[in-house]
Amino acid sequence: MIKLTDTARGITKEVSASSDGSFRFGSLTPGKYQLQVFENGELVDSQTANVGLGGTTTIVLGDASSVEEVLVTGERISQVDVGIAESGMVMSADQLMELPVARDLTSVTLLAPSVSRGDTAFGNNASFAGASVAENVSYINGLNTTNFRNGLGFSEVPFEFYDSIQVKTGGYSAKFGRSTGGVMNATSKSGTNEFQFGTSVYFDKDISTSPNTYAADNDKDAFEESNYNVYASGAIIEDRLFFYGLYNHSVEDEEYFGMTSGRGYKAKRETDFWGMKLDGYITENHRVELTAFSDERETIEGAYEYDSATETVGAYLGDTTIARGGLNWIATYTGNLTDTMTLSVSYGENEADRTTAPATANIPVVYTVDAAGSFTALGNWTNFSVEQGIDNREMARVDFSWDLNDHFIEVGIDQEVNTSSADTINSGGVYWLRDPSGTYACDTSNYCPGTPVVRKRTYMSGGEFETVSSAFYIQDTWDITDTLSFQAGLRNETFDNKNANGQSFIKVEDQWAPRLSVVLDPTGAGNQKVFANWGTYYLPIASNTNIRMSGAETYIHEYFEWDGVTENADRTPGNVGALVGTDTFSNGSVPDTRGLVDTNIEPMYQSEFILGYEYIMDNGIALGVKGLYRNLETSIEDVAIDAAVIDYYNSTGTWDAGMADGTVEEVFSGFHQYVLTNPGNDMTIFIPEMDEYIDLSADQLLYPEAKRQYGALEFTFDRPFDGKWSLNASYTWGHSWGNNEGYVRSDNGQDDAGLTTNFDQPGLLDGGYGDLPNDRRHTVKAFGTYAFDMGLRVGANFMWQTGRPKNCFGVHPTDSFAAQYGQESFYCDGELVPRASLGRTDNYWNLDMNAQYPVAFGNGQELLVSLDLFNILDNDSVTEVNELNNTNFGLPTSYQSPRSVRLGARYDF
């Protein structure tokens, strides 16, 4: 008989070993356990074991015995995880507290190999193995907290709420989906029989600034944050019902000023986070848990006039209130139905506010642009867009496992109903672009007279949009021999995106995703493994696509003659002349769903292959090498079909000008119909004007196939903490190439997931194949800690990385439709400049360090004081440059973060 006792909660489980001496404990909560073997009622062996998050291993207890999800510590054992072929890392809350790491989930993921920081236009997000920053998924206690509107970010949770964070960079099983990037899978802290209480306070401040750019007066930047936490845990009913609770209050103050925009901003963000976890054990084999937290936060951003020449802050223009976050909760039942069968059932909700409400919402947006393409804001408006919106996810999941000795079978189903409500308009209902030189607002060969011109944009969109995402999976882990295991999984996913009228406009079914892996212990000693993994991964269509493509959107550009000087009191252009042209992208009606999606469309998916080897030396040092290859096999993009439709009807002669009220060229003027499709393939699409489906060939459409590939070779070194020091290091050679970065586009900072300009016109792809923005050829990472005998502990976190590929974007000289997008083509001064052909930004390296000192008091109380210094040498490598073909071409637009400090104090009772 095998007995397993949760030492913190007093819960005991017993199982019988099979005929070959093997046994398995499944669905264990992370924590410390006592594992005992009894024979004829006598204790014959005992070990202390720590249950980790998402891992398996083999241990030895008198006879060979297998325990699921148990990572054993102690002198007897030094083993690799021979039960799994996933790539990534697991970090406990205690480990993270000892490292100089910014207190956010993205910074934790950046510790893992093949993970790089994304473009600053998308905020603080990470790119996994060449994928765009909008292709990741994040869970906490099984609740998906990912931003499903555009994939950028997730619910924000303080560090004190986390117990452990698992970063999956590849090879994850059929249990996980909805990602072609990476998975962040976290668990929260839980209570035990021992009552614990604590409080902590942290203060962060930038103590340096980045160099100025042509657009930003960085030497006037300021940032500081105060962060206060109170937490408690314990037993409500001893051995049966436990709680953990946290309250966090944080305040961020930030100032930043523009060189060319004529604006300065002072922002204050306040967060009142609360979180709780309840764990109830009905019996030893049946438990329920409830996790709930609120990450509601509000930013008040004040706008000011700013004169960069004199560095003078001028008149206050008004505040913009930005509301984010919401209430999140998940309830889960887990039952060990028998010694071999386990059932888990979950239901939860995730909420995120998307409201941006400027006090100056009635004042129109006005910009002026010079011949060099530099924009300056005019007037007293404070925020470009006014938006009211909220996202709500309802999820349900059932998982069942069955242990059949050599086979461990897992099956499950899950469904998410994601609803986005949106009401967006430009401030004042209009955006005026003043172009005194007549060179930027529109292409001179079409509308502009070559003299001063103004462009008036009318934009509004709104509605409620639902996406239903469902999946089921089956997975078998087959222990073929004591040293060879094989894991075969199959996942099927369905995505159903609906328009503002509740009609499905794109429904992608039968997305079969096989996942295969094999793990070999070549010697049987448990200290090394060879592993291989192959699988496919699908990405759902973001609800942003529902809003932009299938809502009641109005998007119109009107171009007027102008004297180049006259303006009204609100800085809008005065003495506006004749209308010289109109581009209607959307007319305000809900479009016919049949004209939005190619009937031949295939789902977006990626294939992945991993081959690796790990070895643990007798002293506990783990060495590893791994090869990784990813290929985005199919991509879904929106493409303009106007040129192809013109060619089709002119070649067939079937256009009826009476039905469409105009010639085919007059109706399909370049931007009339955008369609979701797989670029590079033939298309069957409905033409509303002719009330018919037509077939357009790939030759007529002229779009290349969307391609993205990533290859990497990783070398890792891990020396666990032995009471004195630890070190984790990695080197990654990685290469990301193709013509499609993915869901979002770093080239122009566009966060319209799945609807970027990349494939909007064929000419925009000319010269577009090459190294992609997330290509970082060489990366070295290292982090670790050292403990002095008198209690002082120091830590360091280092990264060195090669720069990002550079491009030149200008106006297309021959494709008139592409030319009207402005500086979006790989042409400069009429010459083709292929993607990534202009070298790279600076090599980047950064060193963070910290020190912690504990002061012990009686009754187990401790005060821990800490000091963290980030970018301790104040390096200022250029991370991004202006890639538009104007007078500022090639100049820096972003530097690495300047030196900052964090002071902390934590008191535990």
Residue predicted with more confidence, 550 or 161: 161
pLDDT reported for residue 80: 67
pLDDT reported for residue 25: 64
DSSP codes of every residue in 465-476: EEEEEEEEEEEE
**54 band by pLDDT with thresholds 50, 70 and 90:** low
Q: What is the pLDDT of residues 218-238, one digit of tens each?
A: 999 999 999 999 999 999 999
**48 band by pLDDT with thresholds 50, 70 and 90:** low
CB 320 within 8 A of CB 357: yes
- Return mean pLDDT, the chain: 91
DSSP state of 483: S
Q: What is the pLDDT of residues 396-452, one digit of tens each?
A: 999 999 999 899 999 999 999 999 999 999 999 999 999 998 877 765 456 666 789
CA dist., res. 17 & res. 14, Å (int): 10
Q: What is the pLDDT of residues 101-126, one digit of tens each?
A: 999 999 999 999 999 999 999 999 99
Q: What is the pLDDT of residues 802-859, one digit of tens each?
A: 999 999 999 999 999 999 898 999 999 999 999 999 999 999 999 999 999 999 887 7
Residue 128 clears pLDDT 50, i.e. is over it: yes
pLDDT reported for residue 65: 39
Q: What is the pLDDT of residues 60-82, one digit of tens each?
A: 454 433 333 333 333 333 456 76
Q: What is the pLDDT of residues 344-377, one digit of tens each?
A: 999 999 999 999 999 999 999 999 988 777 888 9
Strand, coil or helix: what is 435?
Answer: strand
Span 505-519, mean pLDDT?
94
Residue predicted with more confidence, 255 or 593: 255
Q: Could you give the C-alpha distances from 270 to 161, 229, 538, 676, 708, in angstroms and in order?
A: 18, 14, 37, 40, 40
pLDDT reported for residue 403: 93
Q: What is the pLDDT of residues 608-664, one digit of tens each?
A: 999 999 999 988 999 999 999 999 999 999 999 999 999 999 999 999 998 988 999
- Helix H or strand E segment including 11: strand 11-15
Question: pLDDT exceeding 70 applies to what percent of the chain?
Answer: 91
pLDDT reported for residue 57: 46
Question: pLDDT exceeding 90 applies to what percent of the chain?
Answer: 79
For the stretch 256-269, what's the b/e string if a residue is b when 16 or more beta carbons lie within 10 angstroms of its beta carbon?
bbbbbbbbbbbbeb
Question: Which range (94-98, 107-111, 734-738) has the least confidence?
Answer: 94-98
Q: Could you give the C-alpha distances from 275 to 78, 137, 271, 295, 326, in angstroms and in order?
A: 37, 21, 13, 9, 12
